[in-house]
Structure 1
Amino acid sequence: MSQPAGLSFEQAPQFSLPLRFFLTAPLFLIAAAILIALSPDALASRWTPQVLALTHALTLGFLAMVMLGALMQMLPVVAGSPLPALHLVARISHVSLVLGTAALMTGFLTGKAAAYGSGVVLLGVCFAVFLVAAATSLARAVAGVTVNGIRFAVLGLTLTILLGVALALLRAGWWTPPAIESAINAHVSFGLVGWVLLLVVGVAYQVVPMFQLTPPYPPRLSRWLAGALFALLLLHAAAPVLPPVAARIVDALLAAGILLFVAATLHLQSRRRRKLPDVTLDYWRLGMASLIASVAVWIVAQAWPAWADSDAYPLLLGTLFIGGFAASVVNGMLYKIVPFLAWFHLQAQLQATAGSIPTMKDMIAERWMRGQFRLHLIACVLLLGVPFWPQLGIAAGGVLALSAVVLWINLLSAVRRFIAHGGDFY
């Protein structure tokens, strides 16, 4: 495999920096799965301690863990702008994210203020360090559609963290923010759409054509979509003070923008140059189908207040967006990013000739990736029934845990091959 043109691979960080994030993430997915399996009755409402703990295990421990690791790799390579003090930032961000997420989950589950407070402080340290470093990197980055998408995603993350701090102060009894319900909804919206979705959009501009051998995204779409979605999200957060008609128009445009990204991605994937089976493509298609379903469920809730007020609605929406869309796309990207980095660093360190080191496809056995995808798909299907039949959570959690274990083993297999062929992490 040759290095894609237009990327600054000479500035790529050492393999160990992003890898520590990638190998930690499946462990939090396992923890979330265990919570689902052990507490099926608690899954009847979004506000139970178990649901709050597993939601943050997924969004912080799995999704944010992978995304921070990916950005530490992508900003030097794609934007030509490494994070300042990268080694220190990586160590602080990783350790504080691991400990902070674990402490926050413990605080939710036990109700102990010390655990909850330490979790909030550690997570505050993690994101403060990372956001300052990312903002510095992005300020001097070479402009481009991927960089612009990342910039809006980082803004979304910043707003998510600020709103999260306000809600943490509320939970601790130190401060009562105005419009609590609106603050909670904005925290969720900016976290899932402003951070997760916009980062996927920005990264997709680079990784879909590069790894899936598709044509590039249409230039007009890639130039304005991320900014338009972020602006609409700001208006959506301000919906309580907007006229009802204006709020409905904003919601309709936001849904249309998301569906436009889905349609463009699926269209490009249908035009890829190689039609060989690719498990990563299956993960993306599952993610896009789940994103369509998420938008559909959200639209129904706007038109049917009784459904919007039910306990099942937020759980179903969260399952579709976090599990079906975000976790699927991130899982698929891990199967491209980790083997590529293992191959790239082997080739760079050993100056290897063709055939002397494993190819990118050889780093993880295809049958193991395919098997893990099937487990993930079964888990997603089972999880869709949990809001209506919580006892299904026992089976769903068990299958999800097995899927996460296989994902972890698969990623470790790429690391083992890297080491076996003389790769050096430092």
Structure 2
Amino acid sequence: MQRALDFDKTPALSVPLPFFLNVPVFGLLAGLLITWADPQALASRWGGTALAITHLWTLGILGSAMLGALVQILAVACNVPLRPARLIAASVHILLTLGTLALVTGFLWWSPPAWFAAAVLLACAFMLYLGALSLALWQHRKQVYKGAREILVPVRGALTALGLTALIGVAMAVSLGMGNSLAHWLNSHILWGLLGWGGLLLMGMSFQLLPIFQLTEIFPKSLTRWLPLLIPGLLLAWSALDASSGLPRLMRETVELLLVGAYTIWIGTALQRLWQRKRPTAEPTSLFWFTGLLSLLACAPAWVWLRHGQSPQAETVLGVLLIVGGLGSVVHGMLYKIFPFLLWKHAQDAVVVPAHNPAHAKVYLKVLPKMAAYIPERPAQWHWAVYLLMLLSWILAAAGWPVAGLLAGPLLILASLLLAWNLGRALWRFRQALAAMAALPVPPAPAQPR
């Protein structure tokens, strides 16, 4: 495994920053929408409001963060930079943001023009992103760092799954705009999006980020080698069985059981590594990782409930556990690790030290905040506590408890505002540090010996 990251390959701050700032914005929109909607909006996944909230999460919150983080990770961990990074990132961010808003509008008002607009915008966003990353992976295939295979294999699978998810989603949006329905593709859209794109990317990131940032043991080689290959194969088998008619239902459920088992092996290993980490205290990122992994682990009994129970709420609870609990928790937790590091790194890079005047650097470093100062632990822990309460309220609301539905929206609004405050304060400290450096007098250079 690639244990060290080459931070000299870090992209410009303007590349991932807009994607990360989308997270609290779309979280606030989702919170406002569920507060405005009926308390039973989460009780079914088929209503327009529920579909709008779902895509605010999957595209606006999770999609934005994952697209921005992947560009960063591929550059520093694998030596696969995206070029021209600023132009591509800015274009994808605008297309993704507008496309998500158009899709949400289509679901809320059942508007064909909004669906057509969403299909065009999102198709362009994902074609540009996937095309640029595929080209970068091909061009730099010989320069990839030794030991980066554990990341690249699941990343390639995740990008393939993203392409299939986007293709099915765009086709469904166009079909809705034309007054038709492709409901039989819905399960494939969900499965490839959550277990393919989201699950594989999260797995690949855990192989790299948990050992480095949480000081855990390296994942077993057998797991990192075979699991990222097994899961796409099972997804393909499930899709083929789902599209076939006349085959026993037991065959598809067996493949689903194997998928649940494969992910449970990874989740159990990740939890064991995280519990036995060398870092003594549980920082906010650790707490979010624990919340996310435990939520994903809870998906196994939720799947059994879905397949063998009679409750109509089972699939909604499963969706909340996957999206809000599993993927959402980890995405928010990693923001508290990636965001302050990027600000600290770019503030350090702004220091220009003449070779003949090393005292210049000492003056600058006195005014630069340490990385931990950008987002202190206490505000981040408060955000985690509110996020945990919000997650519990969403699970209970999805299970059909109306009182929890009344709390789900306000708690998400509060969690999003806390995240926005923490990120905004970090950006303010970054700007203040740059301004302080610009205002510092340059110390005289030491006299040169004759």
Counterpart mapping for 1:10-49 below 5 A: 10-39=8-37, 40-49=39-48
Report the secondary structure of 1:123's partner residue.
helix
Tell me what 2:112 maps to: 113
The structural deviation recorded for 1:315 is 1.4
Structure 1 vs Structure 2: percent identity of aligned residues?
36
Which whole-Å CA distance do the structure 2 matches of 1:329 and 1:5 have between them? 20
Which whole-Å CA distance do the structure 2 matches of 1:369 and 1:208 have between them? 19
The structural deviation recorded for 1:313 is 1.8
Which whole-Å CA distance do the structure 1 matches of 2:261 and 2:218 have between them? 21
Map Cα deviations across residues 4-57 of structure 1 (whole Å, 9 max, x no partner): 964332221111210111012210011111111111233332111111111000
Tell me what 2:443 maps to: none
Does residue 349 (structure 1) correspond to residue 366 (structure 2)? The answer is: no
Please say which of residues 143-152 and 88-97 is displaced more in the overlay.
143-152
Match of 2:372 among 335, 348, 361: 361
Tell me, yes or no, if the aligned pair for 2:158 and 2:197 is still in contact at 8 Å: yes
Does residue 132 (structure 1) correspond to residue 143 (structure 2)? The answer is: no
Tell me what 1:405 maps to: 417
Larger radius of gyration: 2
Which whole-Å CA distance do the structure 1 matches of 2:152 and 2:161 have between them? 14
Which whole-Å CA distance do the structure 1 matches of 2:317 and 2:126 have between them? 28
Which whole-Å CA distance do the structure 2 matches of 1:248 and 1:45 have between them? 23
Match of 1:171 among 172, 176, 190: 176
Tell me what 1:72 maps to: 71
Tell me what 2:233 maps to: 231
Q: 1:135 to 1:274 in 2, by over 3 A?
A: same
Please say which of residues 356-365 and 127-136 is displaced more in the overlay.
356-365
The structural deviation recorded for 1:153 is 0.5
Tell me, yes or no, if the aligned pair for 1:43 and 1:390 is still in contact at 8 Å: no
Does residue 221 (structure 1) correspond to residue 232 (structure 2)? The answer is: no
Tell me, yes or no, if the aligned pair for 1:194 and 1:230 is still in contact at 8 Å: yes
Q: How well do the aligned residues superpose, as a CA RMSD in angstroms?
A: 1.9
Tell me what 1:254 maps to: 259
Map Cα deviations across residues 71-123 of structure 1 (whole Å, 9 max, x no partner): 12112111211113211111110011111111111111112222221122111
Tell me what 1:274 maps to: 279
Report the secondary structure of 1:82's partner residue.
coil
Please say which of residues 240-249 and 405-414 is displaced more in the overlay.
240-249
The structural deviation recorded for 1:243 is 4.1
Match of 1:389 among 401, 404, 408: 401
The structural deviation recorded for 1:245 is 4.1
Tell me, yes or no, if the aligned pair for 1:38 and 1:394 is still in contact at 8 Å: no
Tell me what 1:9 maps to: 7
* Aligned length in residues: 414
Tell me, yes or no, if the aligned pair for 1:157 and 1:191 is still in contact at 8 Å: yes
Tell me what 1:339 maps to: 340
Letter in 2 for 1:366: E
The structural deviation recorded for 1:348 is 2.6
Q: 1:223 to 1:124 in 2, by over 3 A?
A: same
Tell me what 1:294 maps to: 299
- Structure 1 gaps of 5+ residues are none
Tell me what 2:61 maps to: 62
TM-score of the pair, normalised by structure 1: 0.92
Tell me, yes or no, if the aligned pair for 2:112 and 2:178 is still in contact at 8 Å: no
The structural deviation recorded for 1:299 is 2.1
Tell me, yes or no, if the aligned pair for 1:37 and 1:398 is still in contact at 8 Å: yes
Tell me, yes or no, if the aligned pair for 1:138 and 1:147 is still in contact at 8 Å: no
- Structure 2 gaps of 5+ residues are 353-360, 437-450
Letter in 2 for 1:231: G
The structural deviation recorded for 1:376 is 0.4
Q: 1:176 to 1:365 in 2, by over 3 A?
A: closer
List structure 1 runs of 4+ shifted beyond 6 angstroms: none
Please say which of residues 279-288 and 388-397 is displaced more in the overlay.
388-397
Letter in 2 for 1:91: A
Which whole-Å CA distance do the structure 1 matches of 2:202 and 2:67 have between them? 12
Which whole-Å CA distance do the structure 2 matches of 1:73 and 1:206 have between them? 13
Report the secondary structure of 2:15's partner residue.
helix
TM-score of the pair, normalised by structure 2: 0.88
Map Cα deviations across residues 252-287 of structure 1 (whole Å, 9 max, x no partner): 211111111111111111221121231111111111
Which whole-Å CA distance do the structure 2 matches of 1:176 and 1:366 have between them? 48
Q: 1:239 to 1:5 in 2, by over 3 A?
A: closer
Does residue 378 (structure 1) correspond to residue 389 (structure 2)? The answer is: yes
Tell me what 1:419 maps to: 431
Report the secondary structure of 1:372's partner residue.
helix
The structural deviation recorded for 1:390 is 3.6
Which whole-Å CA distance do the structure 2 matches of 1:316 and 1:245 have between them? 23
